[in-house]
Amino acid sequence: MEEAQYSEAATQVLDILNYTRQEDVKKIPQSFIKFLNSISNKNYTPKFNHEYPISALNLSNEAKELLGFIYITWWCDESERKNYKNIIHSNTIKTEKNIDYDINDIFKKKIENKPEVVNNTLENSIIVYKKENIFKRFLNKISSFFVKKNERNGKV
């Protein structure tokens, strides 16, 4: 679905670039324009009235993103670029701060992501095997004779 949206967005951007001053279009590398041509939707033709400013056109969000990328990368000067990068950085920080973290959800996600580790901890727990010393083995052997003798006599 996103492929189709970016395909139509590339078509919209190429249509806008056809009505843009050629000295501005020449600032964009030909490789990027070829990329836009390769992903553009050949069956879609945008119907924009280019007598209106670009803000009045009904552009998709993806086309706005592509035009913003073109503007920041090739058309704006260094001071504007720094200003936009600061705005993007502050918006990113605001977005990250707005994410609510619930301690139970964090641990639940970690457990859900690694269920085999949780299940295998019980199965693969360490078992300590101690070999009995000679004296204890001797006593156990003698006591087993008495137990067997009592079982035969029915005195359990």
- Residue 150 within a domain: no
Please indicate, yes or no, if residue 9 is contained in any of the structural domains.
Answer: yes
Would 10 be classed as within a structural domain?
Answer: yes
pTM: 0.57
Per-residue pLDDT tens over the stretch 41-95: 999 999 898 899 988 999 999 999 999 999 999 999 999 999 988 888 888 887 7
Q: Is residue 23 part of a domain?
A: yes
Domain with 25 in it = 2-97
* C-alpha to C-alpha distances, 50 to 53, 68, 72, 127, nearest whole angstrom: 7, 18, 22, 78
Q: What is the pLDDT of residue 140?
A: 80
Cβ(44)–Cβ(7) below 8 Å: yes
Confidence category of residue 151, pLDDT binned at 50, 70, 90: low
Read off the pLDDT of residues 103-147 as tens digits, 9 standing for 90 and up: 666 666 555 555 555 455 555 666 666 677 777 777 887 887 776
Please check whether residue 73 lies inside any domain of the structure.
Answer: yes
In this structure, is residue 141 part of a structural domain?
no
The total of structural domains in the chain comes to 1
Residue 91 covered by a domain: yes
Inter-helix orientation angle 103-113/115-123, to 10°: 70
